[in-house]
Every structure is written in structure tokens, then in C-alpha cells.
Structure 1
Amino acid sequence: MSASSSLAHSFADSLAGSTPVSRRYRYAVVIGRFQPVHEGHRALLQACLDCADQVVVVIGSDRQPRSFKNPFTVAERSAMVRGCLEDGERHRVRAVGVVDDPYDDQVWIDEVRQAVEAVIRADGGHPDGMPVALVGHVKDDSSYYLHLFPGWDFVPFANVDGINATDVRMCYFGRAPEDVARQQRMAATMLPASTVAFLQTFRATQAWEQLADEREYLLDYRRRFRYAEAGFAPIFCTVDAVVVQRGHVLLVQRGRVPGQGNWALPGGFLEADERLLDGALRELREETALAVPDAQLRASLWARRVFDAPDRSQRGRVLSHAHAFGLADSHPLAPLPAVQGRDDAAQAVWWPVEQLEELRDRLFEDHYFILKYFLTLKQP
């Protein structure tokens, strides 16, 4: 057994009373983002291996663009999971990716169940009545999902003190000498060797540079817009426009961090002296130069909704008031209205709705789910 594996076992052994120690289940399921995999995750995986014949690692935040919060792909995280295991353990662990849905828990629950059941069926088993353990740590309100799977036995796992993936990302994407020094200390004590090797390689990529820029932007943003001496953080209001015509939706490519290069709905922050619809139209004009008269746009407004998932934006608590416009065709064979990327939009394009799934992992924040909501509504 390697020294790092011994460390993982010592972590698990130290969690007396909360870590399963005997194999009682056919399958153990562990759900997480693993951004990146650290020694706490390895201890959790070892606890799963101790209580079950097979382990299914459900990796969240699949099909999302890289961001400071979710910098690594499912394939990269799956490789880190496998890399932290002993050779004799890897055949007992399968990793599957699932997408998040911030506005419909049931969609996410179904995705997780279907992913686990697919593994069971691939092994020749049947999900009904299969003894399954859901192993996890209840850390705060974000852990509510651990009780959303009736039929699976919840097996609690105590957190490994001092290990937090957010802290790892914070120093890993920092350029300051103190960040580099802290990363080196974390690498020596908190990260498996396989994770350290991956992070060293990733640091040489352009993606790392962009995410380091994003980190700096977000830290500066939070400093500049916090409420001094207040007991609560500021809440921001944005306005977005979903403009649809002839099976196409109008999108812009972000020209700045955060999310530089990702595709998004035209939109931005509401100004202090304007109403919501006015702000949405202003941002639409500024970013796309859409060649449609204002009166026609106002007449084509057919739906609105507030999107308020608490963690929908890395910038803080941001509520989006989205407006849907359905443009009618007076001449069905005429070209779509002219657009041009302006302001902080690098490009503006009419994207075919039927090809939206192809763009899913390049759509900014929760804009895929905003689009999904309006595009599945029946337009009057």
C-alpha cells in the first residue's frame, strides 16, 4: 500500500462511528463535484469500498463550460478519481457524469437514478430491491440531496477536517507568491499524487490562464460591490432577452471574464433609473444592434420569468429577469434581422433552436436552463 493510500485509510479510520466498516451493500453511491479530487474524497471513496462490492461515483456539473467554480470536465475529474485509487480497487469503481438543473430537483434526481441504474443493469442486475448505500457528508443546506433518494440507505460520513475543494481552487488559480506557496503546502498534505500531477499539467494550459483571470475578476468584483459593515451581501438584478424568430434564438459570445468565450443571452445589469423591460431592450440593443424597431419588439413580448437560483452566478446573488420576444415573420423567405456583436459581446448570432444541445457545454451560467424554459413554453 502506498503512503498516500495509507493516509486515506488513516483518515477513514479516524472517523470512528460515522464511516461504514463492513461490506453490507452490493453498490455504494457517492455524489459530488470533485473540483478537484482531494484526500477527503479519497477517504470517502475508501469508505464506499469498505461497505460495498461496487462503487458508483456520480460526478455533477456535467456539460458546463469551464469556470472558476467548475474548472474541470467530467472526463478530467473521472481520471482524477481513478488516479487516487489503488490498482486493485479501480475495477470496483465506475464514474458517471450527470447534469445539474438548478430549477427542477426532480430532473436531477431522475438523472442520478438513471445513471446508477444503468450501471446496475450493465452488471446484469436489476435495480428493484438492489441494496444500495448513498454515502455522504451533511455539511450544510446544500447537502439536502442526500435525503432525496428513498430506497437507498443513507450512510453518513464525517468530513475530513481542513480539506475543502474551494480552498484548493482559490490558491491553485492564484498567481501571487503566497498562493503558489499555499498550493505547494496543500499538494503535500491534502491532494493525492495523481491530482497534483494533473494540476501541474493543467497549469500550463490557456484554460488555466483564463480561469486565473476569472478568479482575479471575481475577487475584485466582490470587494468593490460588498456592503461595508452590513450584515448581508448585496443582491444584484440583471435583465436578459430571449429573442426567437423562425426557429432561431439570438445569442451573444461573451468578450470578457467571467465566462469569456462562452455563449449567452443578450443582457446585463439593470440601471437605477429604468424599468425591467426598458433595461432588457437597452442591453439587447447595446450587445446585438438588432435591426428591429422598438415598437415591434415591445409588441412581441410574450413571457417573463425571474430566475433566482442562489448560486446561479459566481459574482454573488444575482436575480435575472428574463424577457421572451417572439418575432413574427412578415416575409418568411426574408433574411433574419441583422445583428452585430457590440459593447462587451464579441459576436452576435442567430442560433438554430434544434441545435441548442450542441452548444450546451458552452452556455454561460444558467442560460441553457433559461432557454429551455422559454423554448418549451407554448408561445401565444
Structure 2
Amino acid sequence: MSSLSPRHRSGVYIGRFQPPHTAHLRVMAEALGKVETLVVVIGSAWAPRTLKNPWTAGEREEMVGAGLQEAGVDPARVRFAAVPDHPYDEDRWLAAVRAGVAAQTGGGSDVALIGHLKDDSSYYLRSFPDWPFLPTAVVSPLSATDVRRAYFAGELESVAGMVPPAVHAWLEAFRQTPDFAELEAEAAWLRAAQAEAGTWPPLRVEALAVVRDPAGRVLLVRREERPGRGLLTLPGAEVLPSETLAAAARRAAAGALGVTPDDPALTLSPTPATVYDAPGRSVRGRVIAHVFGLAWAGLSEYGGWTDAHEALSHPEAFFEDTHALLEPLLRPAAPR
């Protein structure tokens, strides 16, 4: 660590840390030579456990803390801020980062941003122009994606070479949990799906139905297959060659309700469908989603009806980006 006096009161280091690897910890140690207190912003908080996000924000905080303690860092100089993803609302994500940092710094203005502009994934480092940028001297080919891939493939020797010993010990203990067993099964499913597909990622087009009843509740279903078994999602269907996107959405909604697609109590909103086509939105491949709004005026005996506020309160319960798709539709409109 540098012997120079810190130049800034607070530093901010943003990442997902899934998991924190050796380079992450080296950047943090370097940053503490330039700032008095380091705020580690842990992204993708309150997301469901998936192969991309296997560990909760609290678990990642534990791993980072263990690694820093092992390196002799004073824990009082490091604080944490958990920030959820807002993949389709950049302004909300930026505001969440600022709020999380302000909560840990008391709103102080002497804040610097630490990072490395390595590729397009580092775009956010240009999104805080009022925070001086402190580029790190740590340049490493290490990738958390590679760590996860090796970890869930049982390549433990490779993992040991990519993470600090304290983090490796934490990951070894996690292997004994039911959560690991479920994620390991998801990884096996993905390997099998990739082998079967031949060309990966396969292109899929799906229609999703946001069905509301007169009380304003939304219709949700639980996935019964991998990936994401047991997580909440919207009624959806892959589009058949013989049907339109709207017809596929209506078919999916009717199936969830236990009625026929031509039931007059099920009506399609005149508002055009919203298209979500981010290339990495799904582990199932290149999945393009068309989201339709529908209304149900019949009996609401199906058990999947959920209050809109309740639905938005538990992002960790949703499959992939379902929560993000629902937010703009269910969130109350801002007062004018």
C-alpha cells in the first residue's frame, strides 16, 4: 500500500464481485492508498440465485471482507453499499449508486471513483462526471466469469489460482450448501443444452403476457423446469410458425388461467408490445421477448394473482429479468 497520504476522503469501487477475485482485492488495497475510506458498491443486489449471480450481496460482502482482513486492511476503512440492477433504466441505477454512496459517506462531496476502463462493460465509469476518476494500476486478465465457470465445473485447482485464500475457503464452505447443489444442477443443465444445441446461443422469440385483473393484481406463474426452477415469471410461450406474437401471448395467458384463448373475458391491450432484446438477458440463449398487456374480467380463482406492490417488493423471487420487465408497468406513475 502506498505511503502517501490519502488525497480524497472517500473512494468508490463499483462491481458485481461474483465472486471477488485476486485483482479485485488488489484494486481495493491500492485504492486505500489514495482515499481515507473506500465504499465498495456491490451490484446486482437482491437478484435471484443464478449462474451469473450465484451469491447474495451479503455473501459477497463477507467474501470481500475476508479477503481484505487476510491482506491486513483495517475493516473500519471499508464500507459497503448494495445496489440492485435496473437493466432497462440507466437513470434509476445511477441514482441508486449515488444514494448508496451518500448513505456511507454522509453525503460528502470529496468522492473519487476507482476503476479500469478495460472494455464496454466499464462504461459506467464515465457516468459520474463530478467524481474525479482514479485509474487503477492493476491490470489483470482475471474474470469473475471464468471463476464461476471453473467453480461450477468442479475445477477447484483453477479457482484456487484466481481468488485469495480466504475467498477460496468461503467458496469451499459454500459447496456444502443446498444452494450450491441447485446451482451445480443448473450448470449441468446449461452444459447439456449447449451440447445439444450445437450452435450457441440459439435464437428464440417469445411472447410474454402481463395480465391484470379488475383489482389491479398481476398474474404470475412459477417455472417448473430449468433454468430458474421455482422462480416467478410471466405467462409466456415461444411463437409458433402459424401464429402472431399477440396470439402467442394470448395463448400463454389463457393456459395460465385455465381457459381457452378465445375466452371473451381475456382482452388484449391496444398498447403495442414492448420488445426486450438485450443479447445477454437470458441464459437460455439469444431470447427476444415481446411483452403484451392483457386484462382479465372473469373469475379470479387462479392462485397466481399477486398485488403489484407485493410483486415489486421481492426482485429476488423472479426469473431472469422478469422483475425489470414488470417495474415500468406496475410502478405507480410519478405525480406531475
TM-score, reference length from structure 1: 0.80
Shift of 1:111: 0.4
Checking the alignment, whether the CA contact within 8 Å between 1:290 and 1:338 is kept in structure 2 is no
Structure 1 residues 293, 21: closer, same or farther in 2, change over 3 A? farther
CA deviations over 1:84-113 (Å, ceiling 9, x no partner): 113552110001100111111110000001
Provide the residue aligned with 2:157 in structure 1.
184
How far does the alpha carbon of each residue in 1:113-139 deviate from its partner, in whole angstroms, 9 at most, with x for none? 111111111xxxx43xx2222111222
Judge conservation of contact 1:168–1:183 (CA < 8 Å) in 2. Answer: no
* 5+ long unaligned stretches in structure 1: 1-8, 14-19, 175-179, 330-335, 340-347
Shift of 1:249: 0.8
Alignment of 1:242 onto 2:210:
yes
**Secondary structure, aligned partner of 2:205:** strand
8 Å Cα contact 2:268-2:293 kept in structure 1: no
**Residue 323 of structure 2 is aligned to residue 368 of structure 1:** yes
Residues 1:354 and 1:155: Cα distance change in structure 2 (over 3 Å): same
- Amino acid in the other structure paired with 1:164: S
String of CA shifts for 1:7-60, please: whole Å, max 9, x gaps: xx7xxx9xxxxxx97621111100000011111111011111111000000000
Give 1:181-260 correspondences, 5 Å limit: 182-187=155-160, 189-225=161-197, 227=199, 234-245=202-213, 246-260=215-229
1:273 aligns with 2:242: yes
Matched, 1:32 2:19: no
Residue 358 (structure 1) shift: 3.4
1:276-326 CA deviation, whole Å, 9 max, x = no partner?
A: 011112223344424785343245554521122332212232211011112
Is 1:313 aligned to 2:285, yes or no?
no
SS in 1 for 2:51: coil
What are the residue-to-residue correspondences of 1:25-64 with 2, within 5 Å?
A: 25-64=8-47
Aligned partners of 1:252 and 1:288 also within 8 Å = no
Question: Structure 2: any 5+ residue segments left out of the alignment?
Answer: none
CA deviation after TM superposition for structure 1 residue 202, in Å: 1.1
Q: Tell me how far apart the structure 1 counterparts of residues 174 and 210 of structure 2 sit (CA, whole Å).
A: 35
In structure 2, C-alpha distance between the alignment counterparts of 1:152 and 1:362, rounded to whole Å: 34
> What is residue 253 of structure 2 aligned with on the other side?
284
Given that residues 291 and 338 in structure 1 are in contact (C-alpha distance below 8 angstroms), is that contact kept between their aligned partners in structure 2? no
d(CA) in 2 for partners of 1:360, 1:108: 15
Q: Are 2:263 and 1:294 equivalent residues in the alignment?
A: yes
Kept in 2: contact 1:25–1:133 (CA 8 A):
yes
In the alignment, the residues of structure 1 paired with residue 166 and residue 55 of structure 2 have an alpha-carbon distance, to the nearest angstrom, of 15
State the Cα RMSD in Å. 2.4
For residues 32 and 40 of structure 2, the distance between their equivalents in structure 1, rounded to whole angstroms, comes to 11
Distance change (3 Å), C-alpha of 1:147 and 1:295: same
1:262 pairs with 2:231: yes
State the alpha-carbon separation in 2 of the partners of residues 244 and 223 from structure 1: 39
Deviation at 1:149, TM superposition (A): 0.3
Q: Percent identity?
A: 37
The 3 A distance-change label for structure 1 pair 21 and 210 is farther
* Mapped contact 2:206–2:239 kept (Cα < 8 A): yes
